[in-house]
Amino acid sequence: MADNNLNQRVLEALDRLTKWRTVFAGWQLGTRTKDDPECRAVKDHREVTILLRAEVSALVGMLVKKGVMTTEEWQQAMIEEAELLNKDYEKRFPGMVATDIGIRYDKRAAETMKGWLP
């Protein structure tokens, strides 16, 4: 059976951490009411991202500490996954390529972006 005190401490720590969602939403959208649908959507997305980062960082730390993998193995896997995802994004958004200084656009990007909000 799980330690109820530990469960409560985890919930409290994560609840405290996710309070940052409001700061990020304000940074992205400016001041909005808490009932604003766009603001609620951004807060929800930021909360998921914040929690995911904490969970993955905790998991990787545990796996390295327990000797399941090395930091270097994890770093190599991250490089491989980043390169695969980058290629997927290039297919999803024809005419756009990520470079070290930003996104490079070619003439196909105009068609890809047709219908996007201004």
Domains of the chain, by residue range, sit at 1-69, 70-118
Could you report the per-residue pLDDT of 16-27, keeping only the tens digit for each? 999 999 999 999
| The token pair that represents 96 in the structure block | 């756009």
Could you report the per-residue pLDDT of 90-103, keeping only the tens digit for each? 999 999 999 999 99
Report the mean per-residue pLDDT for the chain.
95
Helix runs in the chain, H state only: 4-17, 20-29, 37-65, 71-92, 108-112
User: Confidence class of residue 3 from pLDDT cuts 50, 70 and 90?
Assistant: confident
- Tell me, yes or no, if the pTM score tops 0.85: no
pLDDT for the residue 118: 80
36/40 Cα distance (integer angstroms): 6
